[in-house]
Structure 1
Amino acid sequence: MPIDVQPPRTRGPDTTRAASPPRRAVPLPVWNLLAVVLGLGIWTVLARVGVSGLPGPQAVAVRAGELAMDGTLLDDSLASLRRVLIGFALGSALAVPVGFLMGWYRTARGLIEPYVQFFRTIPPLAVIPLAILLMGIGETPKIFVIFLAAFLSCVVSTFQGVVSVDATMINAARVLGANDAVVFRRVVVPASTPFILVGMRVGLGAAWATLVAAELIAAQEGLGYRMQQAQIYYDLPSIFVGLITIGVLGLIMDRLLLAAEKRLTGWQERR
């Protein structure tokens, strides 16, 4: 039986293209810098066309230099920063255990949650008259209003983090012999940490947002106080200096919290 022998096929040229190297993503700081430059450019254009007497970046920078040279800007920044830090720290320190209680114990949830939800519907600024009557016009009412804003923002996030823990993880830990204390410490707390840190970031923003109104209470220094004084004399550059300083300080504190979040939740999948 003859065997059909076919000539070997010659291999043609390789038509497969080499895989193109992946495109390098533009670093995030570059986009941040571009956003700042664009913002300054738009601000300059609006100031040049005379939008409602808007001061330009140069006028604001000159005024910031004047306030920095005589020490006013530093003193006001330190006073406001001290109030925000104390109020935010006290609010977060109380919000975390209260949120854990509400999320872990149904009895505590039933007793505490109505009050939390009630006070959440009341703007912290509306408490200022009551705080003045009960606490006077010193530092206590200012810090209390900031504390209340930070607490209400953080406690809800902490509570949501506890109740959102996957029941499968809790049941698996119990099957392995873990008691309630171990489950809470090794499962609930780590799983709730991302929610807690997000709540702290929201609470920090609420604390800074409440600062200006809190410094209405017979303050003699502070960024909010300086902005209110500038309003009386229609000193727009000073108002812008206060706004920018608050924004920069708040941004720095938020970046610090974000860095802590990445360090404490390194196990979490990120995009």
Structure 2
Amino acid sequence: MKNGVKSPPSPPRKRRGWPLTVASGVLGMLVWAGLAASGIEGFPGPVPVAERAVDLISDGTLFGDLAASLRRVFTGFVLGVGLAVPVGFLMGWYRTARGLLDPWLQFFRMVPPLAIIPLAIVLMGIDETPKIFVIFLAAFLSSVVSTYQGVISVDPTLINAARVLGATDRTVFASVVVPASTPFILVGMRIGLGASWATVVAAELIAAQAGLGYRMQQAQLYYDLPTIFVQLIVIGLAGLLMDRALLLAERRLTHWQERR
């Protein structure tokens, strides 16, 4: 109370969701242990997988494979998003560019990036170039659609109001369209990140000398299920951490949005 006037009640703090996250993780481990104890032939439990992870960490194999996959994903993802954002803005802002590019964009969206892998290997060889190219393609196609959709979804009232106040097209684009499109762009980036991880694993299964997907293929030949589980867990954790980083960036860049 100040000067006899009651202060407005402070907004309730959002409850943290970490207890549910921990409970979900514990439940998942229990289900995993239960499946392993149920007698499924060859299905490894948490303990054998953890022991295999320690072995792979000790000899440096796991970190080497993780570094190789991360390098490919990061390179292809950054290149794909870096091209997708300006192309998406171009398509959303100019109808001519939309008419020229949209048919080709929709055509290539119907072709899975994984189907491009054999062609990329034949044309580009078996080094890093085809792997990065298919990751780039997966990230680009996911992000460009979201960016384009974000631009055309901007409320026309905001654009008209800015123009009435004397704003030029450049000012309208920079001050209205770009901020309003940012949530769409970041959602597209998160989708593109998942597509990038799926694509790199497939590419490494076909032609690679190192990487998480390559190690899974080698383990498959020897029916080494614990190693396969280790690689799957590492892929999931690496992708989850990268996704959380994008989600944090989204919250910081779009703090003006109302959230439930």
TM-score by length of 1: 0.90
Structure 1: unaligned runs, 5 residues or longer: 1-22
Percent of pairs with identical residues = 71
Equivalent residues of 1:132, 1:217 under 8 A apart: no
Distance 2:209 2:118 in 1: 18
Distance 2:221 2:203 in 1: 18
Distance 1:260 1:27 in 2: 18
The answer to whether structure 1 residue 112 and structure 2 residue 101 are counterparts is: yes
Query: 1:24 deviation in Å?
Result: 8.6
The answer to whether structure 1 residue 161 and structure 2 residue 154 are counterparts is: no
Distance 1:24 1:260 in 2: 21
Query: 1:25 deviation in Å?
Result: 7.1
Aligned twin of 2:192 = 203
Distance 2:175 2:39 in 1: 60
Query: 1:52 deviation in Å?
Result: 3.8
Structure 2: unaligned runs, 5 residues or longer: 1-11
The answer to whether structure 1 residue 232 and structure 2 residue 233 are counterparts is: no
Of 202, 211, 221, which aligns to 2:210? 221
Aligned twin of 2:120 = 131
The answer to whether structure 1 residue 50 and structure 2 residue 35 are counterparts is: no
Amino acid corresponding to residue 64 of structure 2 in structure 1: D
Amino acid corresponding to residue 260 of structure 1 in structure 2: A
Equivalent residues of 1:205, 1:250 under 8 A apart: yes
3-state SS in 1 of match to 2:205:
coil
Query: 1:27 deviation in Å?
Result: 2.4
Aligned twin of 1:242 = 231
Distance 1:37 1:25 in 2: 23
Of 35, 54, 75, which aligns to 1:86? 75
Query: 1:26 deviation in Å?
Result: 5.3
Query: 1:212 deviation in Å?
Result: 1.1
Amino acid corresponding to residue 80 of structure 2 in structure 1: G
Aligned twin of 2:85 = 96
Aligned twin of 1:143 = 132
Q: Deviations over 1:29-62 (max 9, x none)?
A: 1111110000000000010012242100001000
Aligned twin of 2:66 = 77
Amino acid corresponding to residue 101 of structure 2 in structure 1: I
Distance 2:39 2:165 in 1: 70
3-state SS in 2 of match to 1:269:
coil
Equivalent residues of 1:142, 1:217 under 8 A apart: no
Distance 1:183 1:263 in 2: 22
Query: 1:186 deviation in Å?
Result: 0.2
Aligned twin of 2:182 = 193
Aligned twin of 2:28 = 39
Equivalent residues of 1:131, 1:141 under 8 A apart: yes
Relative to structure 1, the CA distance from residue 257 to residue 25 in structure 2 (aligned partners, 3 Å threshold; closer, same or farther) is closer
TM-score by length of 2: 0.94
Amino acid corresponding to residue 194 of structure 2 in structure 1: G
| Structure with larger Rg | 1
Amino acid corresponding to residue 29 of structure 2 in structure 1: L
Distance 1:223 1:258 in 2: 24
Task: Count the aligned residue pairs.
Answer: 250
Moved more, 82-91 or 208-217: 208-217
